[in-house]
Amino acid sequence: MRRIKLVLQYDGTNYSGWQRQTNALTIQEELEKALELITNKKIETFGSSRTDAGVHALGQTVHFDDDGTFPVLKYVSALNSTLPDEIGVLSAVEVDPKFHARFDPVKKWYRYHIYCGKPKPIFKSRTSAHLLYPLDLDAMREAAQHLIGKHDFTSFKSLTEENKEQDGVRTLFDIEIKRGGEMVLVDIWGDGFLYKMVRGLVGTLVEVGRGKETSDWAKKALEAKDRRKAGKNMPAEGLFLMQVFYKKC
């Protein structure tokens, strides 16, 4: 038994997220199909993050076990020529058999893309949210200061049947907001994220940035521990899982 760690990028537009599902096409299914095609074995994969439908990745991290016969150095090219155009493998390395893509991350980095302006961005429509109003980045940065740190982020957790009882305490290490042309980028680093938490955080910052709420309101929204008190979730297309950090490797 040999454990392999992959770093994956994908355009998630046409996929129902990372995780295998019965009636929908997912990234995990495509990856496992490609692995079976090149190794002739059924291989189960474990992803660091269950990215949602339509969410993209530049650094999704995945591990799986193989029987050691397929050359590690060939995984990248073999998978890239087998996977659809929207999914690519950046690297494949052998790791300690105790390494776990999902349970071992110490930090994750997400980036949210917001295109503010006209005309509507035809070639960015799959990879950014489009707002017709301008954003005050300084106000957003002020609001972000209230969110950084160790908090109960229940106000930013979208409820599902499964996560009702899930503890909401997470640590946000940093939030950076910058502009490049018409594009506003919101970078968020944390030790972990609740279901749709990043999209709720950005939606809350946008309410402040557009002047509908003050930066103090973000603090109150956080402290309310009530999903209805914070901003709406931003759409999936603007969100990228950028990088997953592990203690070793």
Residues labelled catalytic? 52
Residue 82 as a binder of a second copy (CB under 8 A): the answer is no
Q: Is 119 in the site for a second copy (CB under 8 A)?
A: yes
**Cβ(106)–Cβ(247) below 8 Å:** yes
3-state secondary structure of 18: coil
Among 21, 125, 160, 163, the residue binding a second copy under the rule CB under 8 A is: 125
Q: Which stretch binds a second copy (CB under 8 A): 4-12, 33-41, 163-171, 203-211?
A: 4-12
Residues 56-75 that bind a second copy (CB under 8 A): 56
Which tokens belong to 40?
């002739």
**127 sits near a second copy (criterion: CB under 8 A):** yes
Stretch that binds a second copy, among 7-15, 138-146, 154-162, 213-221 (CB under 8 A): 7-15
Kind of pairing, strands 45-47 and 56-66?
Answer: antiparallel
Given the complex with a second copy, which of 85 and 162 has the nearer CB atom?
Answer: 85
Nearer to a second copy, 112 or 156 (CB): 112
Q: Residue 86 interacts with a second copy (CB under 8 A)?
A: yes
Q: Are 193 and 170 in contact (CB under 8 A)?
A: yes
Q: Under a CB-based contact definition with an 8 Å cutoff, are residues 186 and 109 in contact?
A: no
All residues at 6 or more sequence positions from 48 whose CB lies less than 8 Å from its CB, including other chains: 60, 61, 62, 101, 102, 105, 108, 241, 244
Task: Determine the Cα–Cα distance for residues 2 and 187; give it in Å rounded to an integer.
Answer: 35
Listed in sequence order, the residues at least 6 apart from 42 whose beta carbon sits closer than 8 Å to its beta carbon are 32, 36
Is 112 in contact with 209 (CB distance < 8 Å)? no
120 near a second copy, rule: CB under 8 A: yes
Q: How far is the CB of 118 from a second copy (least distance, A)?
A: 8
Residue 9 near a second copy by CB under 8 A? yes
Please report whether residue 10 would count as binding a second copy according to CB under 8 A. Answer: yes
Q: How many residues bind a second copy (CB under 8 A)?
A: 20
> To the nearest whole angstrom, how small is the minimum distance from the Cβ of residue 14 to a second copy?
10
Residues interacting with a second copy, by CB under 8 A? 9-11, 56, 76, 80, 85-90, 118-120, 122-123, 125-127
